[in-house]
Structure 1
Amino acid sequence: MQTAVDDFHQLITDDPRGASADANQLDAALVARGILFAGKAMPVHLRPYLVSQSQRRQLESAAASVLRAALLAEKGLFGGNHEQLYEALHIQDRERKLLRVNPGYEDAVVWTRLDAFPTPDGVLFLEFNHDAPAGIGYAAAMTEIYLGLSILRRFAERYQLEPDEPRPALLAALLRAYRDFGGKTHPTIGIVDWTDVRTSADQIILRDYFIAQGYPSVIADPREVELRQGQLYAGDTRLDIVYRRVVTSELLTKLDETRAFTTAYETRAACFINSFRCRVSENKAFFAFLTDPAHIAFLPEEAQQCLLNHLPWTRIVTEQHTLLPTGERVDLCDYVVRHRTEFVLKPADAYGGTNVYVGSETDDTVWAQALRQAVTDDALWVVQQRVPTPVELFPVRQADGGFDFHPMKYNVNPFYLGGQIAGAVVRTSQSAVINVSAGGGSIPTFTVTPRA
């Protein structure tokens, strides 16, 4: 794949003025299509992420296998006692009330985004993002924009390009869950999130796609929906499917303002996708059980090995003795203090890259303070084996309009939609915390094959 990357970069080097014009076109199209983050054009690179067919198959196989194994584990941990699992994850009573509700269909996770690091030893998944992740609309629209650039057309003369289009798989997944829910009519879809959320453009792209495919769709705020005669409404529109984009942790702080919304879930006034049950396996502390052979011994051997091979060793931060992957028994906190550079410390129930401490980029004093906070905090923290962050050269535009090629850290985020992997976005950053909310960028993925 390095040859394809080099060839793309050579196109920039050979025609810097053309590349600059393409970059201007790219930025203008992002703004015109509403592909924004926090009111500005999404940070991108002129080169998309390029993968070979074999790399694509490896990513898709690993992502689908690890998620299936994780969801199977969730059902059987602690002997299938969900209340004991909730207790172990420190899930509060107000959230447990939602978790105990049967959403009306089987799958806890209908759609999600995984955070993956390709490494020389295979693909490792650092997090699951089940609870209303953004990006599917952005990915589809960015792909269309990139295909309109002259540099992509020139590149396509040498390489066959297979772009991602995750929206059909997303819609199919929503409709399948709705049928399992018992829905019989042609559903209206409500995309529900706070009005002022920074990723509203992503929702607009999806709303317009659903409508174009023949499914009425609206965007609504959870504080403004109403229950009428046992059905959920946004204004005059009855909602059959709630494509839930409001993040649970934020919703729990505004329960008094969103009573109709949560009551609609509890009474099945609409089909909520994902259900709130997705939060259990998204919790970062859940990885502590998935990477502990003693906890997953009930799984088939293949599922056990999948989890241990594709997830970084993770433990809940508490005063405890535990086994390292080598089998050595250690005092967890003492070991983590002495081997700071080997670990990452982060809250178990947070998103957006907040309060993440990368040991190799944190000094001894700050690391020790963060660890003490983690031990004493009422909320759970986890310590996770640090995975070497993959790095690639990407074109970075300079103030004069030209380009330099900078090494950028990146991760790959495949979308799991209704049981299949359908597309992926890639996020880049100069820091080890790779997240758009933390200042990173986002680019689409193209599978490339050299033309004969």
Structure 2
Amino acid sequence: MVDRVTELYNKESLLDGSPLPTIMTEVERDPQLANWTGSYLSRPLFVERREIEAFADDVLALFDVITSLPERLFGGDLDAYCAALSIDEGRKKLITRLGGTTPPRYGRADMYHDGTSFKLLETGIASEVGGADRAGAIPRALLEAAPFAEFAERHGLGYTHTGRAVAGALAGAGAAVAGGREPVVALLEGPGGLANYASHWNTFRDVMRGFGLDFHVAEIGDLTFPGGKPHLSGRPVDVILRCFTVEEIMGDPHGADLVEPVFRAHEDGRVVLFTPMESNLFANKACLALLSDPRHHDSFTAAERELIDRVLPWTRSLKDADAELLAYCRTHREELILKPNAFYGGVGVIAGWTTPQEEWNRAVTAAVADGAIVQRRVVPRSEPVVNPRTGEVEDWQAAWGLFYTPGGYAGAYARAVPAFESPVIGVTAYKNTRTAGVLHY
């Protein structure tokens, strides 16, 4: 099923002389997006406002369920919870350094639309998720282009600006620390991280500054701590937007020394670490398996079970999997996808439908030791797109990213690939991935 506004947009795009197929050139020239080095889909995606906001409500409700899992399933025993998620002792010590507290609602849920409804792939409970820079800036730039603005007005199009929501969340987080002045926010990458992600985070910086934030991008090693207060180039920092990961800290010989002063400053109320490392207790994909596993159904209310069944594909952990589950995985290869617990961006993902049987069998066996999850495949609906060079309509498929902050739903964007060209849709996972803005009606 193709979205009805998509059909109208493509119909107008196919008219002789229509400016719509090349309208994304306006976005490419936008000053706020000039630092980003990726590529855009030649049209935005469209969704009914009521549908995406209802799914956002489901994501937020699921956030509350997931962050209650240690208490519900393990009696508050974080050691047992981490063991179930295959989080080793070193990582557990880092993640729970601040006591294992519940993180603020902040992240990006990833989902597919299967033609009937959205299906959740990952909850994305993390502050290091990307895309918030473009999610609001792309539709804003489109609406400043006269030909698109005219189409948008006729069809009642709008959007939720992710950048505005994130800027508000960060300003609110820093208010108690800044002592009446405007808070200073530093987005911090891991050691050496800006070599790969500078263009992404500098684009985000420009968007945040556009909303009045005193916002800076650096690496964790750039901080100093006079009097225990973090400073960046002599400037006091009130909020640290954490974009360094557990793996980056664990992988650096000085990682523990770099992050410990940040933890102490957060504990002393000198800075707000947004979000704390505890987010990684719940970003782990094995959390989805705990939700989906029928052995835990009695731990959820009837309404929560209905929510889980509605939005989440069948998901199981292969940690200590029994013979029945392993046999099912081997037999139903073309319906399943394997995902490592702690990675993101498509790293380590193995799609059964593109993998020879013997190779799949070996991957399933290895996943038992690694504690990966297996999930039922969701086939994303077709997103027909007019090729601006040929004028032909081509089928693409999209992974949607839904952002949320402590204030609730915070907008969306999407990544798209030519239909069935890649089993993983993501900028870091596949070179032909394109980014698309999202507008609602």
Confirm or deny a common fold (TM above 0.5): yes
State the superposition RMSD in angstroms: 2.6
- 1:159-216 Cα shifts (integer Å, max 9, x gaps): 111122012221232344446x766443211111155254433433443444444442
Checking the alignment, whether the CA contact within 8 Å between 1:22 and 1:150 is kept in structure 2 is: no
Corresponding position of 1:370: 363
SS at match of 1:14: coil
Structure 1 distance, partners of 2:321, 2:349, is: 22
Checking the alignment, whether the CA contact within 8 Å between 2:402 and 2:413 is kept in structure 1 is: yes
Structure 2 distance, partners of 1:15, 1:151, is: 14
The one-letter amino acid paired with 2:66 is A
Which of 406, 417, 424 pairs up with 2:412? 424
Query: Taking structure 1 as reference, are residues 216 and 135 closer, same or farther at Cα in structure 2, changes over 3 Å only?
Result: same
Corresponding position of 2:187: 191
Checking the alignment, whether the CA contact within 8 Å between 1:409 and 1:432 is kept in structure 2 is: no
Structure 2 distance, partners of 1:9, 1:50, is: 12
Query: Taking structure 1 as reference, are residues 225 and 341 closer, same or farther at Cα in structure 2, changes over 3 Å only?
Result: same
* Identity between Structure 1 and Structure 2 (%): 21
Query: Taking structure 1 as reference, are residues 23 and 117 closer, same or farther at Cα in structure 2, changes over 3 Å only?
Result: closer
Structure 2 distance, partners of 1:115, 1:173, is: 21
Alignment of 1:322-341 (within 5 A): 331-341=324-334
Structure 2 distance, partners of 1:54, 1:77, is: 33
Corresponding position of 2:426: 435
Which of 106, 110, 113 pairs up with 1:111? 106
Matched, 1:245 2:243: yes
Alignment of 1:139-158 (within 5 A): 139-158=135-154
Unaligned segments of structure 2, at least 5 residues = none
Q: CA deviation at 1:418?
A: 0.8
Q: CA deviation at 1:52?
A: 1.8
Query: Taking structure 1 as reference, are residues 432 and 236 closer, same or farther at Cα in structure 2, changes over 3 Å only?
Result: same
Structure 2 distance, partners of 1:215, 1:149, is: 26
Q: CA deviation at 1:228?
A: 1.9
**TM-score, with normalisation over the residues of structure 2?**
0.88
Matched, 1:394 2:392: no
- 1:70-106 Cα shifts (integer Å, max 9, x gaps): 22334422112111101111212232223333379x6
The one-letter amino acid paired with 1:68 is D
Report the more deviating stretch, 10-19 or 354-363: 10-19
Report the more deviating stretch, 249-258 or 84-93: 249-258
Report the more deviating stretch, 254-263 or 432-441: 254-263
Alignment of 1:79-94 (within 5 A): 79-94=75-90
Query: Taking structure 1 as reference, are residues 175 and 296 closer, same or farther at Cα in structure 2, changes over 3 Å only?
Result: farther
Q: CA deviation at 1:266?
A: 3.9
Which of 74, 77, 99 pairs up with 1:78? 74
Query: Taking structure 1 as reference, are residues 251 and 363 closer, same or farther at Cα in structure 2, changes over 3 Å only?
Result: same
- 1:264-319 Cα shifts (integer Å, max 9, x gaps): 21442521111100001110111111112332523333223212322122222245
- 1:36-86 Cα shifts (integer Å, max 9, x gaps): 2xxx3x222222111123323332222222222222334422112111101
Corresponding position of 2:134: 138
Structure 1 distance, partners of 2:217, 2:24, is: 31
Checking the alignment, whether the CA contact within 8 Å between 2:416 and 2:425 is kept in structure 1 is: yes
Structure 2 distance, partners of 1:74, 1:429, is: 37
Report the more deviating stretch, 132-141 or 386-395: 386-395
Corresponding position of 1:233: 231
Q: CA deviation at 1:419?
A: 4.5
Unaligned segments of structure 1, at least 5 residues = 322-329
Alignment of 1:271-286 (within 5 A): 271-286=272-287
Structure 2 distance, partners of 1:54, 1:216, is: 34
Matched, 1:174 2:170: yes
Corresponding position of 1:128: 123
Q: CA deviation at 1:154?
A: 3.5
Checking the alignment, whether the CA contact within 8 Å between 1:415 and 1:423 is kept in structure 2 is: yes
Query: Taking structure 1 as reference, are residues 152 and 253 closer, same or farther at Cα in structure 2, changes over 3 Å only?
Result: same
Checking the alignment, whether the CA contact within 8 Å between 2:397 and 2:417 is kept in structure 1 is: yes
Structure 2 distance, partners of 1:177, 1:279, is: 20
Structure 2 distance, partners of 1:300, 1:21, is: 50
The one-letter amino acid paired with 1:341 is E
Q: CA deviation at 1:436?
A: 1.1
The one-letter amino acid paired with 2:310 is N
Matched, 1:100 2:100: no
Matched, 1:355 2:348: yes
Which of 355, 369, 372 pairs up with 1:381? 372
Structure 2 distance, partners of 1:332, 1:370, is: 14
The one-letter amino acid paired with 2:52 is R
